[in-house]
Structure 1
């Protein structure tokens, strides 16, 4: 590791597993202190074990404004100003179009878009000049997968939002970017709502288009996130970096 985030204070939501966990671990390895937020208190406690001076654990749900307010309050009380916000918490559910009623749409948009946006809005007064906001979108904003229209649309909205927010926050010296994971081996795949045999068939089909010949790892996204939030990326503003094993150009 390069200690590229030495002295920085970061917030990562959805930090209990998958990409969020990997980002939190990478940030800590790069020298940052991190506030980790998710619903799974036991998993968050594991992150903090043995490094309580560097980790703040806050449990809650990004769809709860009270929980987000508490995250902001506890983080600022513990660490003061903030340098990095990664509103990573997200869900993906397969919902056929004919079943995409308002409740189904609100469910995924509530976490993936509104939850992410409100997380950043809460921390905005406390992000220091030179700070960074990093949204987590998806390669599915560029390709179509049946049943994932709501999920993809929620992330497409987030991509558009991040580009506009980059222009709005630039005068404050705050950079805004996003990282778009491709097929990554995380627990989210097992929770999208497909039967095991169908999920395996989809995975086989997807893998055939990946240039490395395998799904990516959460650490691939974490490494990109660490770079984008470091001073080494000081001239990268309003960009979406796609980390997808070449899927979208195959």
Structure 2
């Protein structure tokens, strides 16, 4: 531990697994106080047990205004402010064009875009001067991938949101940036709606374009989040950091 985030207060949504869980763990390891938010709070009990004085677990859904307000109030009662906000909660589904109904697309946007935007809006009064907001986008805003139109479009909207809020909130002392993960080995990969054989075929295709030949790990994104949240990144504003193992270089 290097205490790069010592005594900073962070809120991470979608914190029960994958990238959100790893970001939460890294923040705690760097000395932060962390509020972890997820629909299944029991998955976070181990994290709270390891850092009881610096962890607050809140269950809820980012698509619920009431849940977000409850999260904000719980954070305010426990820690009094927010220095780092990571609206990480996300949904990924393979939806072919034929199945891209308004309802299917709306579900994806409701979590990925509206959930992220409303999380920031809810916490705006608690964000301190010098605070950092870190959105999670995707490398898929730069490349096409069959069946992921709704997901990629929702994350492209988040990328645009990040740049816009960087300009809007910057004068208030709030830095806004985003991280675009490439192929990362997380539970969400197995939940996109493909069977095991299809997943293997897609993974082989993706791996052939990666410099390392294999998917990245959640900690690759978490380390980037630690840097962006730290004072070392104080002059980085409105940027998207792509962490994709070289996929988008061709």
Aligned to 2:190: 190
Give, in whole Å, the separation in 1 of the partners of 2:213 and 2:99. 34
List gaps (5 residues or longer) in structure 1. none
Give, in whole Å, the separation in 1 of the partners of 2:44 and 2:204. 32
Give, in whole Å, the separation in 1 of the partners of 2:199 and 2:25. 28
State the SS of the aligned residue for 2:134: strand
Question: Post-superposition, which runs of at least 4 consecutive aligned residues in structure 1 deviate over 4 A?
Answer: none
Give, in whole Å, the separation in 1 of the partners of 2:135 and 2:173. 17
Aligned to 1:150: 150
Matched, 1:166 2:166: yes
Matches within 5 A, 1:1-250: 1-250=1-250
Deviations 1:56-79 (A, max 9, x none): 000001111110010000001100
**Post-superposition offset of 1:173:** 0.7
Give, in whole Å, the separation in 2 of the partners of 1:198 and 1:126. 44
Give, in whole Å, the separation in 2 of the partners of 1:235 and 1:119. 24
Give, in whole Å, the separation in 2 of the partners of 1:166 and 1:112. 18
Deviations 1:167-217 (A, max 9, x none): 000111100000000000000000000111011000001001000111000
Deviations 1:90-127 (A, max 9, x none): 01000011211110011000000000110011101111
Give, in whole Å, the separation in 2 of the partners of 1:207 and 1:113. 28
**Post-superposition offset of 1:42:** 1.1
**Post-superposition offset of 1:50:** 3.2
Give, in whole Å, the separation in 2 of the partners of 1:93 and 1:107. 10
**Post-superposition offset of 1:40:** 1.0
> Which deviates further from its counterpart, 48-57 or 12-21?
48-57
**Post-superposition offset of 1:47:** 1.1
> Which deviates further from its counterpart, 15-24 or 44-53?
44-53
List gaps (5 residues or longer) in structure 2. none
Measured on the aligned residues, the alpha-carbon RMSD in Å equals 0.6
Deviations 1:110-152 (A, max 9, x none): 0000001100111011110000000000000000000000000
State the SS of the aligned residue for 1:49: helix
Give, in whole Å, the separation in 2 of the partners of 1:122 and 1:63. 12
Q: TM-score, normalised by structure 2?
A: 0.99
Give, in whole Å, the separation in 2 of the partners of 1:69 and 1:124. 11
State the SS of the aligned residue for 2:2: coil
**Post-superposition offset of 1:160:** 0.3
